[in-house]
């Protein structure tokens, strides 16, 4: 199209400036809001993913079909050190740790509770995670010291405190079956149910209590996998690990280890897209109204243009172009506003008030960082362009059907 046509389209848009500014502002608000919403959803997804993989790992090695096994001894990786060595050889850059989970009865002086005793390597990533993120009093268990760090809710239930003693009973296991542990610390865990039934031990102590030299899972932490999109590369690592291990073991990704939470995360992005469609439909109605009213005010002009020889397709293209200019100006403003908001949120933000603590139950970290992909940015502006075209179709069709004589007689 020639510069003259663009100039004419802009002049027509600016003629009803109040209406046009309102419509462009609505488009700007929708574009900015959707960019921020995508950035916020990225922050939530990545935050939950990071919190989840801090304790489950990116890959998990277990006895095959361990979820279906009810007997504790059949779910054990017997020679945990040998399996860890194989994993390290297959993935030399990975951080590999053995974990032993022992169902047990933990008793204080007067009360007892069914718990999971979590045996962790004293110098490993998981023990450091508990020390840095969740320790609220005392310290994490020392190696070989027969110490336990209890969830705060569990400690309250047992009337136990730092420096006190609790007694673990694991009947039917292959170790001592019973032992006394000194309470070394208290853990403020993000999930209340986990806090009420978790006790962290040194791995060697847990093995001596229930399963010498064994583990229930080998956890693998891969470098550089900090976002949900980066996690899509895990399949190659998984296949390499499966080739290195005997058939009696299976390798799970974090998705298979936590399928319920993975399903919730997978639902988030489609839901944001649905919201985007709804918001752009509402913005599109405003655009239709603006373009249609502009058409009604200029019916005589269109009649003259057609009478002078302009074909109907050119008239229709002019109406579509006006809609595109209107939406493009609003989208550009919205992109600037949304981009500035994303830049601020990408530096870190927290939910207001007590929401951060409440949503920690669902795995959200206290501080999140906005994240948006180029594809999501393109999707927002593609929705804006589609809104402009779709909103102009009906007014353009009306303009194309105008009869010159009747149009020139029209009185607004």
CA distance linking residue 98 with residue 123, whole number of Å = 11
Domain ranges of the chain: 3-51+262-409, 59-221
Mean predicted confidence (pLDDT) in 14-43:
80
Q: With a threshold of 0.85, does the pTM exceed it?
A: no
**pLDDT digit string, tens, across residues 293-328:** 666 566 666 666 666 666 667 667 777 777 777 778
Question: What is the per-residue DSSP string for 253-320?
Answer: EHHHHSHHHHHHHHHHHHHHHHHHHHHHHHHHHHHHHHHHHHHHHTHHHHHHHHHTT--HHHHHHHHH
Is-contact 200 118, C-beta < 8 A? Answer: yes
Could you tell me which of 190, 188, 81 has the C-alpha nearest to residue 135?
188
Q: Can you point out the beta strands (E) in 189-238?
A: 198-202, 217-221
Could you tell me which of 250, 270, 278, 146 has the C-alpha nearest to residue 200?
146
Mean predicted confidence (pLDDT) in 324-333:
83
Q: Which two tokens stand for residue 224?
A: 């550089």
What is the chain's mean pLDDT, rounded? 82
**pLDDT digit string, tens, across residues 130-145:** 888 888 999 999 888 8
Is-contact 297 399, C-beta < 8 A? Answer: no
CB half-sphere exposure, 22, CA atoms < 13 A: 10
**pLDDT digit string, tens, across residues 204-244:** 999 999 999 999 999 999 887 877 777 777 888 888 888 88
The predicted structure's pLDDT at residue 360: 63
The predicted structure's pLDDT at residue 359: 64
**pLDDT digit string, tens, across residues 91-122:** 998 899 999 999 999 998 888 999 999 999 99
């Amino acid at each position: 199209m020639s510069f003259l046509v663009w100039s004419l389209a802009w002049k027509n848009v600016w003629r009803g400036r109040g209406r046009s500014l309102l419509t462009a502002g609505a488009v700007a608000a929708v574009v900015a809001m959707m960019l921020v919403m995508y950035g916020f959803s990225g922050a939530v997804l990545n935050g939950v993913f990071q919190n989840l993989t801090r304790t489950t790992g990116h890959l998990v090695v277990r006895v095959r079909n361990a979820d279906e096994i009810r007997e504790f001894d059949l779910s054990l990786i017997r020679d945990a050190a040998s399996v860890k060595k194989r994993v390290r050889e297959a993935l030399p850059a990975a951080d590999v740790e053995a974990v032993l989970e022992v169902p047990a009865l933990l008793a204080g002086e007067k009360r007892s509770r069914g718990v999971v005793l979590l045996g962790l390597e004293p110098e490993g990533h998981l023990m450091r995670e508990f020390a840095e993120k969740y320790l609220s009093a005392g310290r994490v268990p020392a190696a070989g010291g027969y110490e336990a760090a209890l969830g705060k809710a569990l400690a309250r239930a047992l009337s136990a405190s730092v420096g006190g003693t609790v007694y673990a009973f694991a009947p039917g296991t292959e170790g001592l079956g019973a032992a006394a542990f000194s309470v070394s610390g208290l853990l403020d865990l993000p999930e209340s149910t986990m806090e009420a039934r978790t006790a962290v031990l040194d791995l060697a102590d847990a093995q001596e209590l229930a399963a010498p030299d064994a583990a229930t899972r080998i956890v693998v932490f891969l470098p550089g996998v900090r976002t949900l999109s980066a996690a899509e590369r895990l399949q190659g690592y998984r296949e390499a690990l499966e080739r290195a291990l005997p058939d009696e073991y299976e390798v799970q990704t974090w998705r298979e280890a936590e399928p319920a939470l993975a399903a919730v995360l997978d639902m988030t992005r489609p839901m944001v897209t649905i919201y985007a469609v709804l918001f752009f439909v509402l913005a599109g109605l405003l655009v239709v109204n603006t373009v249609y009213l502009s058409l009604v005010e200029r019916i005589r002009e269109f009649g003259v243009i057609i009478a002078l020889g302009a074909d109907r397709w050119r008239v229709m293209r002019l109406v579509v172009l006006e809609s595109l200019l209107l939406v493009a100006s609003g989208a550009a403003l919205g992109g600037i506003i949304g981009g500035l908001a994303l830049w601020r949120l990408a530096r870190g933000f927290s939910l207001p008030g007590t929401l951060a603590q409440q949503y920690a139950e669902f795995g959200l970290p206290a501080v999140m960082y906005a994240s948006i992909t180029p594809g999501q940015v393109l999707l927002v502006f593609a929705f804006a362009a589609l809104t402009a075209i779709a909103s102009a179709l009906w007014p353009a069709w009306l303009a194309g059907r105008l009869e010159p004589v009747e149009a020139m007689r029209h009185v607004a």
